Structure 1
Amino acid sequence: MISDSPVPAVVPPGRMARNPQPVLGLPRGFELRPWRPDDADALLAAGQDPAIRRWNLLHVDSTEAARRRIERMHRRRQAEESAIWAIARTGGEAIGLIGWGDLDLRGGSAEIVYWVLPPARGNGVMVEAVRRLSQWALDDLGLHRLRLCHSVANPASCRVAVKAGYSLEGTMRSALLHADGWHDQHLHALVQGDI
């Protein structure tokens, strides 16, 4: 029998907005926490880093622009459009960013976005951050499918995806415009039951 009722939302509206953004612990003295106004300098530094600008299309050219961007992160989370965390030493400064863009609570999916500043690269913190935030999204928030997309010219992101347990599903041709032209992208995914 076919029901006249629409398919229910995977995650009910308001589940994220009515709760404070959690602080999520990571191994080795790191944490994921909400961005603060005093993190503006870290965001500005990221906006000046050539690798972050290349792969994340991040353009922040002043401390004031960074503060506005942090305010927008909080507004978008409250509107349940995205959810962005700072990667930081416990109680310390932001060294990176991770979160969910293209958040679709009704459909139960989101795309992970991330970057880390140069001094924190190569120590495995991003893999741990992706694992922890993915666990939160599936188990605590209740999403069903998580995507991780990156340029095929960015092997570091591919290693993060694989080490964090995301399966490679294929290549999306000419999927994202970067400063140097169109890039093919790898599509990785993690779904309920994978971890």
Structure 2
Amino acid sequence: MIGKEMCEIILFCNHPVTGELMDLLLKVHKDELLPSVLDKAYELMEFAPHIPIKRCRLVKYNFWNEVMEQSFDEFQHQTIGLIVGRAGNYSLFLETRKENETFKKYNDGGVNLKVSVVDLSTGEVGPAVPMRGELGWTVEELKQHIGDLFNIKSSCMRIVKEEPEDYWSDSSVRDISDVGGTLRGIPISIYNQAIFHLIQ
């Protein structure tokens, strides 16, 4: 009976000193409110005295794609049981911000993106960086968010989407820099993922 009253959550964070990705098992009662769960997560990860709790929050995390999936700023008065639901494996990330920063909003139902920079002078493709996108974004909005991620002006970039042909063939690329509409109109894989290359 006690087990049914508890939620077991895989809690991730970046160590406040080393930056190393860590994970621990967090056990909380299903009727606890989100601020109470944050207190326990903060204590479990031993963030004090490195970062004050007012600069921390919990967000839904996708470990396999390394992206934040949903923020809960408007769910502070909900219990963790309602938030987690019947999910067998549920992951949260103890996210932090700097003193003068504000937290980003992550909407559930977005798309997982991987973006890499291509150097035209050498043809070298940089490492893929994961980010979370919204299906309602236009290509111009996508450019702005990618520009923020890589500190590059959106007007100085061209974006191509990698599109695998089939299991036996190499991938092809499609230039979407001037595509109208939103990401909802761009084919995304059945795994709700897309790979983009930023050419500058």
TM-score (norm 2): 0.26
Instruction: Give the greater-gyration-radius structure (CA).
Output: 2
**Structure richer in helix, relative to its length:** 1
TM-score (norm 1): 0.27
